[in-house]
Chain A
Amino acid sequence: MEQQVTVAIIEDHPVVTEGVASWIRSDPEQRVLLVHTARDLTGLHGESRPSADVVILDLELSGQLVTTQIPGLVAAGYRVVAFSGHSDAMIVMETLDNGAHAYVSKEEGSDHLVEAVLAAAADRPYVTRSQARAMLSDQRPDRPELSQQELQALLLWFQGMSKASVGRRMSISENTVRQYISRARAKYAATGRTAPSKDALLARAIEDGVIKPGEIMPYTSFARAAANRPSLGAPGQ
């Protein structure tokens, strides 16, 4: 048996914490081990912070939105899976931009939370329907450029089809559907603010063959700019 993924739950409503814990317990393969629960983020800072691979973070703690705390958690070595009732596209995008691995809405929890935690622990992309919705709604000028195929796969996935159905609809294999959706997610990891979690996700995506280094536009242009004009150093550092 593979080693269990350790997880902490930061959630201010005990009943939700209990629900998440029960989803983790009911995983037939017991792939996730709950090691820490708390109602706020104070315990995750400092020397005596618990060791956990992944933090399941409620985005609203005691009425405060905590998306800006995500970079601190990522810097401390945690991988973050946001779990929230706020499915607003702007909040989802901000959460991912701040370095969260995945976003799972409270409606999606029972089907997706454990899988999202496992994907995060392996630095692999995980795209929920609410995350697909946020990507489709994204109108920011600096958003990554997605291909027609990637957009179509995201749209059908958002609409509620299973990945197998999306594949039949697009006349491609289910595996290719996953590839398109993961590639769209990887492109997002390559834009916006830098975070170790985004770099890890991107490195893993390249390793897995989900995306080629050449497909990540900003990185290539930086490399090219640095190669052409070495005296200027590397911009974006």
Chain B
Amino acid sequence: MTDVQPATVMSGRYQRAFTIAVVVLVAGWHVAGGGGQLLHNRADYASFAFQGALWLVMAVAIAVGSILVLRGSPDWRLAWTVAIIALVASTASAAASPAGQMLAVSWAWGSAGWTGVLVLHRRRLVELGWFLAAEAAATLGVQAWDGLNRLDLAAFLALLAWSTGAQIAVAAAVKALDSAADRAAAAARSEDAARERAVTAEIIQAARQSRWLALQESTVPLVAELASGTADPGDPQLRVACAVQAARLRRLMAEGDELPGSLVHELHASADVAELRGVAVEIETAGTLPQVPAPARRVITDAAITILTAARSQARITLAAVAAGIAVSFVADTGSVVLLPAADQGVAIEHQQDGGMFWAEARWNNR
């Protein structure tokens, strides 16, 4: 799946507006400009019906060209087919016009040029240049066939300057507007990226802050007591408290990466301290595990730390995908019931004591 950036959508919308403007301009020119001239000079043509038919051919070419450009950038073969039909119609119209008056009564030159602009304006400007030059050369060729005098040449040059100049100007303007829209879109895109980076940085900062606060509450006072000598390292209770804090520190270092396996990773980190104590810890998973949100993971790993700290020689941790969530269980030879943290963050905890073996299961549901 491609990720559509708002900035790209925005630039696409501008480009479509420019295309519609060109379509309206070209169709308007053909109906009002070309059509008006055709009707105005109808008495001067050898065959008005033939000129009318050519006008319709051109109208169809413009309609097809409009559909093509409104659907997106047309293939070069289609674009040039439409352009060449317009060129042929224009040349035929010039050839069928009365000699000497050809340029004065020509409706087709302008319409053909605009049709070229319509289908070629999103292509390289030089292609439109070639098309307009070919059109001018064809019209001039027809005129020369009939005999070229100074007046004809002057009229030709005047039409060339006015009509072709306007067409090239419009095509160039669309190109300039397109690139302005692209630049605006690129600027918006980099602004989006910068905003995203800022939000990510804030989240990371907040996560660090909360970890630091967690340490402040539990680990720092313990270390301070040890340092000041008020706590006795020989006291078994203090040793348990130290083991719990050591496991928490390791978990804090493992936290923060939002990977599908992060709960497994954090449980491994929580088990490290128990393993150093000589407890054999097995961790096994079954099925495709869902992603568990950080606060719920915290409740589960707290339970793990409590149970592992109480384990004497062995512990088994399993994670199983169950309907609508995950079941994380602990079996350990704790000897007695372990006081577990309260259920919280959508995590329900159950336990059972059987002889020296303690079983507990933390279930998190994603509903």
- Which residues of A pack against B, CB within 8 Å? 89, 107, 133, 136-137, 139, 155, 158-162, 164-165, 168-169
Q: Give CA–CA (A89, B327) in the complex, Å.
A: 18
Which among A139, A160, A162, A168 is the interface contact of B329 at CB below 8 angstroms?
A160
Whether a CB of chain A sits under 8 angstroms from the CB of B101 is no
Q: Check B322–A159 contact: CB distance below 8 A.
A: no
Q: Check A165–B359 contact: CB distance below 8 A.
A: yes
Which among A133, A161, A165 is the interface contact of B286 at CB below 8 angstroms?
A133
Q: Check B331–A161 contact: CB distance below 8 A.
A: yes
Q: Give CA–CA (A165, B329) in the complex, Å.
A: 14
Chain A to chain B: the 7 pairs with minimum beta-carbon distance, closest first? A160-B331, A160-B316, A159-B329, A136-B286, A165-B354, A133-B286, A137-B287
Q: List 6 A-B contacts (CB under 8 A).
A: A136-B320, A137-B287, A139-B288, A159-B361, A160-B282, A164-B354
Q: Give CA–CA (A185, B316) in the complex, Å.
A: 23
Whether a CB of chain A sits under 8 angstroms from the CB of B64 is no
Q: Check A159–B318 contact: CB distance below 8 A.
A: yes
Residues from chain A with Cβ under 8 Å of B337 in the complex: none
Q: Check A137–B286 contact: CB distance below 8 A.
A: yes
Interface size class of B (residues with CB under 8 A): 10 to 19
Which among B282, B284, B321, B352 is the interface contact of A169 at CB below 8 angstroms?
B352
Residues from chain B with Cβ under 8 Å of A107 in the complex: 282
Q: Check B327–A161 contact: CB distance below 8 A.
A: no
User: Looking across the interface, which residue of chain A has its beta carbon closest to that of B331?
Assistant: A160
Which among A133, A162, A165, A168 is the interface contact of B284 at CB below 8 angstroms?
A133
Distance in angstroms from B86 CB to nearest chain A CB is: 59
Besides the known contacts A136-B286, A169-B352, 18 further A-B residue pairs in the complex with CB atoms under 8 A apart: A89-B286, A107-B282, A136-B320, A139-B288, A155-B327, A158-B286, A159-B331, A159-B359, A159-B361, A160-B282, A160-B316, A161-B357, A161-B359, A162-B354, A162-B357, A165-B354, A165-B359, A168-B354
Residues from chain A with Cβ under 8 Å of B359 in the complex: 159-161, 165, 169
User: Looking across the interface, which residue of chain A has its beta carbon closest to that of B327?
Assistant: A155
Q: Give CA–CA (A168, B329) in the complex, Å.
A: 16
Residues from chain B with Cβ under 8 Å of A160 in the complex: 282, 316, 318, 329, 331, 359
Q: Give CA–CA (A162, B361) in the complex, Å.
A: 15
Q: Check A155–B320 contact: CB distance below 8 A.
A: yes
Residues from chain B with Cβ under 8 Å of A168 in the complex: 352, 354
Distance in angstroms from A156 CB to nearest chain B CB is: 8
User: Looking across the interface, which residue of chain B has its beta carbon closest to that of A151?
Assistant: B322
Q: Check A159–B288 contact: CB distance below 8 A.
A: no
Residues from chain B with Cβ under 8 Å of A161 in the complex: 331, 354, 357, 359
User: Looking across the interface, which residue of chain B has its beta carbon closest to that of A134?
Assistant: B286
Q: Give CA–CA (A159, B361) in the complex, Å.
A: 9
User: Looking across the interface, which residue of chain B has its beta carbon closest to that of A87?
Assistant: B284
